[in-house]
Amino acid sequence: MLTTADLVTVLPLIIVASTAVIVMLGVAWRRNHAVTALVSAAGLVLGLLALPLTFPATSSPPLMQVDGLAVMAGTLVLVSALVTVILSHHYLTGYIGPKEEFYLLLLCATAGALALVASDHLAMLFISLELLSMPLYGMLAYSFRAERSLEAGIKYLLLSAAATAFLLFGMALIYARTGYLDLAGVAGALVQAPDAWMLAGAALIVVGLGFKLSVVPFHLWTPDVYQGGPAPATIFLATVSKLAVFVVLLRLVLAAPFFSSEWLQTLITVLALLTMLGGNLLALFQANLKRLLGYSSIAHFGYLLVAIVVGNALATETTGVYLITYLVTTLAAFGVVTLVSSPFGGEDADGLPVYRGLFWRRPYLAAVMTVSFLSLAGIPLTAGFIGKFYVIALGVADSRWWLVGGVVAGSAIGLYYYLRVMVTLYLPEPGMRRRDVTNDWGSRIGGLTLMALAVVILVLGIYPAPMIDWVQGLSGLTN
């Protein structure tokens, strides 16, 4: 049964869910874009403030495990959602039609992500994964009058449903063999070597989650959905959704020993290699910035899969550090795209030519973009370097030479297209210009957020000790 102590441990989740209900009632009463955005942001901030109360947790509610990993991932989820809300406000002011539902969907999905990272039971995992994905369909198809947005929503809906079927079938196989749905039970039920059914179940779960992480060969939806969805929805998809799914995959690997069987490790190693190289190669000649960032996020999760293959205590720490660096970097990069596309007017500004000569028009915005792309490429003195360093160190410590080679090769390829985008920013401005940010972007809160993110990228790259301490402290408390 749920006790009061249990309720305190899920307080952020309760706050976010109640904010969603409040926003819904507010919309039903009177529509007001600014107030809705403000209430959503306030709810997320409150959730963030309530996180320290939940820890150290003496008990966890049934089906959930509020440990260090969950608190760490919860913090990242709430911060990313907050940045998304801030950027959405500016973006949606140009949307003609109801704007408030976007925040409602975003809050629902955030609640799902919070539950997902703490789930300790396959049923909980399934429901919260669906709660994360279902509002995302609506967010991606939000500007459904624009053809691409609707296409993105439908594509994500159909393929995500197929992936869910794989996931469910995998769970059913595992349940049929062990008779348990909670992770501890599943892990404890089979002490001896797992048989073919268990492995098939685990592999199907990896496939289902791999789809959400857009691991090659389950990545085919990614570029179209990233390109078609409204920019804030794409940010949410690239950060919160991927992060939460990755954390739950890590939790499965850490909890259930059959996930670290030789056969499955080989499978994930192959997937990781394919993902690193595939993502980078596909991005190589991409002229659309949103598609390019989509491929880049594929490659980044390929690097991060090294942590899943290794699956020890250091892997948790690596995941934490890498996710933080990936998150600030991706938020900044997509944030610039969002800001340039704001306020909404049909399609987003995502072609590289739009960004040609951005430096000469908007030097600060171009600086944010440059810093984030340097960080994506993993150049020293940026946050991305620290993350990549951790991944390579993890691979070397565990003697996974193939993976280390893949990370190195992928980074080398990646450098080419990241630099290509950066060069475009500084090229002299052509005669005509089509899209531009509004003039006072720096004074707007979205612009300030982006500046702050760029500063965070640099600070984390130069002085990462506090972040590493924080992650170490929390991952030490993961069971």
Partner 1 sequence: MELAFYLSGLVAVLATVGVITGKNPVHAVVYLIVSLIAVALVFFALGAPFAGALEIIVYAGAIMVLFVFVVMMLNLGPDEDSAGWRHPRHWVGPSILAGILLAVLVTLLIRGDLVQVIEGDLLTARSVALTLFGPWLMVVELSGLLLLGALITASHVGRRSNPSRNRSGH
Site map 125..144 versus partner 1, x via CB under 8 A: --xx-xx--xx-xx--xxxx
Q: Are 290 and 350 in contact (CB under 8 A)?
A: yes
CB of 127 to partner 1, least distance (A): 5
CB of 14 to partner 1, least distance (A): 9
* Number of amino acids touching partner 1 (CB under 8 A): 46
Q: Are 208 and 159 in contact (CB under 8 A)?
A: no
Hunting for tokens 């059914």 — which residue is that?
A: 197
458 binds partner 1 (CB under 8 A): no
124 binds partner 1 (CB under 8 A): yes
362-to-84, 131, 264, 305 alpha-carbon distances in Å:
22, 39, 49, 37
Hunting for tokens 């260090």 — which residue is that?
A: 68
Site map 163..182 versus partner 1, x via CB under 8 A: ----------------x---
Q: Are 74 and 117 in contact (CB under 8 A)?
A: yes
Segment lying near partner 1 (by CB under 8 A), choices 43-51, 103-111, 220-228, 404-412: 103-111
Three-point CA angle 69, 406, 424, nearest 5°: 90
The alpha carbon of residue 198 and the mean position of all alpha carbons in its chain are separated, in whole angstroms, by 29
Three-point CA angle 258, 260, 265, nearest 5°: 125
112 binds partner 1 (CB under 8 A): yes
CB of 82 to partner 1, least distance (A): 19
460 binds partner 1 (CB under 8 A): no
DSSP for 406-420?
HHHHHHHHHHHHHHH
Enumerate residues 49-88 that contact partner 1 by CB under 8 A.
61-64
Cα-based torsion angle of the residue sequence 237, 241, 247, 253 in order, rounded to the nearest 10 degrees: -90
CB of 404 to partner 1, least distance (A): 40
17 binds partner 1 (CB under 8 A): yes
Residue 62 vs 363, nearer CB to partner 1: 62
CB of 391 to partner 1, least distance (A): 33
Q: Are 231 and 337 in contact (CB under 8 A)?
A: yes
In the set 8, 11, 22, 24, which binds partner 1 (CB under 8 A)? 24
Strand, coil or helix: what is 350? coil
CB of 179 to partner 1, least distance (A): 8
105 binds partner 1 (CB under 8 A): yes
22 binds partner 1 (CB under 8 A): no
354-to-98, 385, 446 alpha-carbon distances in Å:
28, 28, 20
The residues that touch partner 1, with contacts defined as CB under 8 A, are 1-2, 10, 17, 20, 24, 61-64, 94-98, 101, 104-105, 108-109, 111-112, 115, 123-124, 127-128, 130-131, 134-135, 137-138, 141-147, 150, 153, 179, 345-347
